[in-house]
Amino acid sequence: MSIEDIIREDDIGVYKTLLESTRAIPWKIDWETLRFAYIGPQIEELLGWAPQSWATVQDWADRMHPEDRAWVFDFCVAQSQAGVDHEADYRALRKDGEYVWIRDVVHVVRNPDGSPNALIGFMFDISERKRTEERLLDMQRELEELSFKDGLTGVANRRRFDMIVENEWREAVASGQAISVVVLDIDFFKQYNDHYGHLEGDECLKRVAAALAGIVRSPRDLLCRFGGEEFVLLLPGTDEATAMALAWRCLDLVDKALIPHAGVGAGKRLTLSAGVHTTVPTERDEVLPFIAVADRRLYLAKERGRARVVADGGL
């Protein structure tokens, strides 16, 4: 044996040790037979399957989460056939039945004519990264939800209303269905604050919101706090008679909540006033004037003595 051979053997030993002591798991697949020529022993520590049990690409595919299997397999085969290096993230099945997120980074070794000769690659355990990504996504979802909620009462806020009403308006224009809105306002709320204090005023707003929450009939109905002591109920696909009945029901729900309001006279209860408007919008109509009509009707209800609903008032 020449000195060169000894050096080469030593080098191979060094490379093998290096490859098998990294956290990344090396592997090689012969393209013609689609069999594993090699897989690093670290695979057993990560997934529990011994290196000898990785015989063919079928073993690799079988040990993949069913939801990932088809697309990962098709993607990797297509890329390999095209001679393109690639990577894929998927859930690999552990022997104990759990799944581990893996990133497989694949290099295509090509024959002189360009056809694939072998695939060599590294599998990386990316579970921790995926967990962090999922936590971030959850936090993002939570933040998004919070940004659409009124901080005090927990019902939808104005921002959400503005977003939903635009969509529902377009839908009503397209479908020719009626859309209704009820604008609700607490009566004598300034006196409530003056009498009980601002903190009690906040509690009162929460109680009113909780009582009104019972009005929502379907996911399309939207109750929101418009600001201050004003709430709005958006009722897509709802005609005038139904909207009117629902507005009265809102007043009734708050009445039944029995919120005392001594600020307007002993023994009195908190009441609401409401303005209602219904329309079948056309392309030419706009949302804001539609809501403004309900708002003006609300002020008519206040003028006429409060604790009532106005649905026409000549407007």
Residues that bind ligand GTP (CB under 6 A): 152, 185-191, 193, 198, 201-202, 205, 228-229, 302, 306
Is residue 233 classed as helix, strand or coil in its secondary structure?
A: strand
- Residue with smaller CB distance to ligand GTP, 103 or 302: 302
Our answer to whether residue 229 is catalytic in this structure is yes
Q: Which helix (H) or strand (E) holds 226?
A: strand 222-227
- Residue with smaller CB distance to ligand GTP, 168 or 187: 187
- Residue with smaller CB distance to ligand GTP, 44 or 203: 203
Q: What number of helices (H) and strands (E) belong to the chain?
A: 10, 10
Query: What is the closest distance, in whole angstroms, from the C-beta atom of residue 149 to ligand GTP in the complex?
Result: 14
Query: What is the closest distance, in whole angstroms, from the C-beta atom of residue 261 to ligand GTP in the complex?
Result: 10
Is residue 286 classed as helix, strand or coil in its secondary structure?
A: coil
Q: At what angle do helices 158-175 and 287-303 cross, to 10 degrees?
A: 110
What amino acid is encoded at 55 in this protein?
A: A
- Residue with smaller CB distance to ligand GTP, 178 or 186: 186
151 to 126, 157, 274, 287: CA distances (angstroms): 37, 8, 23, 25
Query: What is the closest distance, in whole angstroms, from the C-beta atom of residue 211 to ligand GTP in the complex?
Result: 16
Taking CB atoms, the residue at the shortest distance from ligand GTP is 201
Query: Which residue among the candidates 229, 240, 283, 286 is catalytic per the annotation?
Result: 229
- Residue with smaller CB distance to ligand GTP, 57 or 272: 272
Query: What is the closest distance, in whole angstroms, from the C-beta atom of residue 151 to ligand GTP in the complex?
Result: 10
Query: What is the closest distance, in whole angstroms, from the C-beta atom of residue 264 to ligand GTP in the complex?
Result: 9
What distance in Å separates the CA atoms of residue 232 and residue 276, rounded to the nearest whole number? Answer: 10
What distance in Å separates the CA atoms of residue 52 and residue 44, rounded to the nearest whole number? Answer: 10
CA 212 to chain centre: 25
What amino acid is encoded at 297 in this protein?
A: R
Query: What is the closest distance, in whole angstroms, from the C-beta atom of residue 103 to ligand GTP in the complex?
Result: 50
Is residue 148 within 8 Å of 160, Cβ to Cβ?
yes
What distance in Å separates the CA atoms of residue 311 and residue 83, rounded to the nearest whole number? Answer: 70
Percent helix, strand, coil in the chain, to 5, is 50, 25, 25
Residue of 267, 269, 289 lying closest to 279 (CA atoms): 289
125 to 47, 89, 91, 122, 229: CA distances (angstroms): 10, 10, 10, 10, 54
- Residue with smaller CB distance to ligand GTP, 27 or 231: 231
- Residues taking part in catalysis: 229
